[in-house]
């Protein structure tokens, strides 16, 4: 593939809402051209004799056993470790407006 033109880089910058200096346009042009050349190399690799795979371990839906663990602690004892509590709950700062 040919090296990316300045117009291509400026269009990508505009679509990305980036302001680029002339030096950055040149730098990104070189870097993106190198990336596209690498992608072309990957695309040219013959994989016709390979079986398609989505994952390689063969494992499916591996879950831990759902068991109750008794920590021998009362809710009150656990709440003592919280920096702030209110009505038996841990009090935290508001997350959503």
Residue 6 has what pLDDT? 94
Nearest partner of 33 among 5, 7, 14, judged by Cα: 5
Token pair of 88, please?
């038996």
Residue 87: pLDDT over 80: yes
Residue at 63 is within a domain: no
As a whole number of angstroms, the distance between CA 38 and CA 33 comes to 9
Residue at 49 is within a domain: no
Structural domain of 39: 6-43
Residue at 65 is within a domain: no
- By 3-state DSSP, what share of the chain in percent is helix, strand and coil, each rounded to 5? 40, 5, 60
pLDDT band at 2 (very low <50, low <70, confident <90, very high): low
Number of separate domains in the chain: 1
Residue 72 has what pLDDT? 84
Residue 20 has what pLDDT? 95
Assign residue 24 the CATH number of its domain.
1.10.20
């Amino acid at each position: 593939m040919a090296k990316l033109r300045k117009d291509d880089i400026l269009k990508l910058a505009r679509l990305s809402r980036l302001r680029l200096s002339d030096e950055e346009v040149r730098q990104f042009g070189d870097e993106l051209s190198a990336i596209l050349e690498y992608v072309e190399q990957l695309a040219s690799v013959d994989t016709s004799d390979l079986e398609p795979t989505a994952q390689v371990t063969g494992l499916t839906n591996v879950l831990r056993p759902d068991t109750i663990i008794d920590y021998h602690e009362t809710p009150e004892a656990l709440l003592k470790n919280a920096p702030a509590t209110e009505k038996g709950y841990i009090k935290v700062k508001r997350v959503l407006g």
